Amino acid sequence: MWDALWVVAPVLGAYLLHAPVLRFDLLHALTVPLDSGLTLRGRRIFGANKTWRGAVVMFVGAVITTLLAAQSPAWANHWPPTLRMHPLGYAALLGLGFVAGELPNSFLKRQLGIQPGDQRRSMLGVALSIFDQADFVPGIWLALAPLWLIPPVQALLVFAVAVVVHLLINVIGYAIGARKTWI
């Protein structure tokens, strides 16, 4: 029942690597928006906050953490056999799913006129804010499918845990100055 949590947990390395990069404005040359400023219907595709720096750093953070976890039998033994047999492929797919999983929600928010960091005070706004905390879960689910298909109940569990953990990470990021808002 808990396999998926062990499988997805290495994405915490993405946040751990990204926080100091943001806080100290490292790799500034990569702060180019993924959408290069392109618009659809007069609105940005992903917005200024989705940058190459974030994509690269978060991908690398997830990969490094996954590969480190693969060295620990206490950790890796919780993974399905296909992931243990292909740790580099698993790490790359996890990082890719994590980064790509955040893009559809950003696209939707930009097309609805919600600026990065802003929230709408409506049912849709609350739903988007909650989904925003774990929007990477469907991306990871799809990306890992060639090696392991996360059972739907476990995917929902991962989503719920990710919402809570991401909210805590946001508060910590805000406290150390890596974020401008706590949500």
pLDDT tens for the chain, 183 residues long, are 689 999 999 999 998 999 899 989 999 999 999 999 999 999 999 999 999 999 999 999 999 999 999 999 999 999 999 999 999 999 999 999 999 999 999 999 999 988 877 777 788 878 888 898 899 999 999 999 999 999 999 999 999 999 998 888 888 888 888 777 776
Interacting residues of 2 by C-beta distance below 8 A, sequence separation 6+: 78, 154, 157
48 is a domain residue = yes
85 is a domain residue = yes
Place of tokens 């949500």: 183
How many domains are there within the chain?
1
- 3-class state of residue 112 by DSSP: coil
Rounded CA separation 178/76 (Å): 31
Helices and strands, number each (H, E), in the chain: 10, 2
145 neighbors 7 (Cβ within 8 angstroms): no
183 is a domain residue = no
Range of the structural domain that residue 115 is part of: 3-175
88 is a domain residue = yes
Sequence-ordered strand ranges (E) for 11-168: 39-40, 43-44
93 is a domain residue = yes
Global pTM value: 0.91
Strands 39-40 and 43-44: antiparallel
182 is a domain residue = no
180 is a domain residue = no
181 is a domain residue = no
Rounded CA separation 80/15 (Å): 24
